[in-house]
Chain A
Amino acid sequence: MHATLPFLPYIVGGLAVTILASLVTFACAVAIGLAATLWMTTGHPAAGPIVRAYVAIFRSLPELLCIFLVYYGCEIALQKAAVSFGFRPIPISPFLAVTVAIGVQFGAYSVQIFSDAHRSINPGLFEAAHALGLSPRKVTTRVAIPLILQAAIPGLSNLFSVMLKVSALASVIGLEEVTRRAKIVAGSTREPFAAYAVAVVCFLVIAAAAALLQARLERSFRSTREA
């Protein structure tokens, strides 16, 4: 235990990376989900089958497999490009690979959340917006997106807390967040029990904070709705 204490700030500092990675990935997933949902609502004939296939595929692939596919795939593509265009191969940032892999994967879950949210909205509100003479673009940006986002808050906050946990997988391709740092410390101090216990506590604190935040968010939105 004593050998691990000096490394405490190092492990806990990994929380910043964990949270940053989760936030960027979350933004990525929300953007994909919102775009796909809005595309489906336009009634484009290709939209339905393509989005459904995307959701079915990425819901059934393990996150770890996705991360490896994106990481190795980009590596090979970059190497080939480097050979044919004659530049020095650039190492891929694990942060970028994780953001793309998890963002695209969780985009599939957020499509489901957003399309449920869209279905729960009274269609009369959209008709009213059209009747007011708003252009279709304005109806989307001023009416549809705010209403969908508001209705999606419970689902999205669940998704975010899942994402915080999934971000631990990023340690496998070398992103230095809590898990990776705990592993490094465990290796150098030969006290894996203490090092991983610190990581466990870190994640429990985040989980508690996320639960509190979620409860507060939902309460504030419920009160604005009822008002």
Chain B
Amino acid sequence: MSESLFFSTTLWFSILRGLQITILLTVLSMAFGLILGTALALVRVYGSALASSVAATYIFVFRGIPLLILLYFLYYGAPQISFLRTGLLWDVLFSSAFGTCILAFSLNNAAYLAEAVRGGILTVKKGQIEAGFAIGLTTRKVISRITLPIAMRNCLSQIGNETIFTIKASSIASIVTVRDLLGQAQYVGNIYYDNITPLLAAAILYLVLVQIVERLIRWADRALKPAPLAGAKGKRPNQLQVVS
């Protein structure tokens, strides 16, 4: 630990560049993960028995594999298959470490988010869905306009937890040479022959980032909470209630 390095602008500038990559990894993989995860959750709840079990298998597999092994498998193992080495898939995803990381994190996030969204769907009150049908909406419209928005609001805190997990897990990208926050810290550490100081600086940034995200989620959770209905005597109308 050296103070002169800790207070140097070089260190902080390069680590801040790493922070950008970490944020980019998190945002992109959360977005793709949320899209795929929502689709999986819908299939799991509304799909046929076969489709539902396929989705369940996907969720089991990608929740069971450690992220590091998934990343190794996609980054080192997948290019062995020859058709993956041609065309758009190779150019966009498998040829770069960053693209492979996005793919691995998104696949992993999708499995966890599918479970969260499914939980959210199951807590939507039956009466709200029936009300949708009663005013003449089609099944598709009921799902897209009523079930999904309420389900998303119900599982917002879990999506938030998942975001924090992704921020932390994205540090694994540094192992396959992506210069994210941790990777950049190690890079600086190698240049200055000082492993500890850049790591401590990176730790501070991770702490700040996670605290900010935590605050944001708590704020969003409060802001989106529906106002109590007139007849509900101040009780939240959206109490957790499993409707299966």
Contacts and interface: CB of A to CB of B under 8 A. Distances in A.
Contacts of B136: none
Contacts of A208: 60, 64
A165 B211 contact: no
B85 to A, nearest CB: 12
Given A60-B206, A207-B60, A68 B195 contact: yes
A169 B77 contact: no
B65 interface: yes
Contacts of A57: 207
Nearest to B173: A64
A66 B226 CA distance: 40
B202 interface: yes
Interface of B: 60-61, 63-70, 72-73, 76-78, 80-81, 164, 167-172, 174-175, 182, 186, 195-196, 199-200, 202-203, 206-207, 209-211
Contacts of A172: 68, 175
A65 B81 contact: no
A65 B199 contact: yes
Interface in A63-77: 63-65, 68-69, 72-73, 76
Contacts of A68: 182, 186, 195, 199
Contacts of A63: 168, 171
A65 B61 CA distance: 26
A96 interface: no
Contact of A196 (B76, B174, B175): B76
Given A64-B171, A168-B66, 4 more contacts: A60-B164, A62-B206, A68-B186, A165-B67
A168 B66 CA distance: 7
Contacts of A178: 69
A73 B196 contact: yes
Contact of A192 (B65, B76, B168, B202): B76
Interface stretch (A27-35, A197-205, A215-223): A197-205
Given A62-B206, A193-B80, A203-B64, A72 B69 contact: no
Contacts of B172: 64, 169
Interface string A138-178: 00000000000000000000000000111111011000001
A60 B65 contact: no
A73 B101 CA distance: 28
A164 B67 CA distance: 12
Chain A CB count within 10 A is highest, among B65, B174, B207, for B65
B124 to A, nearest CB: 24
A169 B210 contact: no
A59 B161 CA distance: 11
Contacts of B70: 200
Contacts of A196: 69, 72-73, 76-77
Contacts of B168: 60-63
Contacts of A116: none
A61 B69 contact: no
Contacts of A61: 168, 203, 206-207
A196 B72 CA distance: 7
Nearest to B75: A192
B80 A191 contact: yes
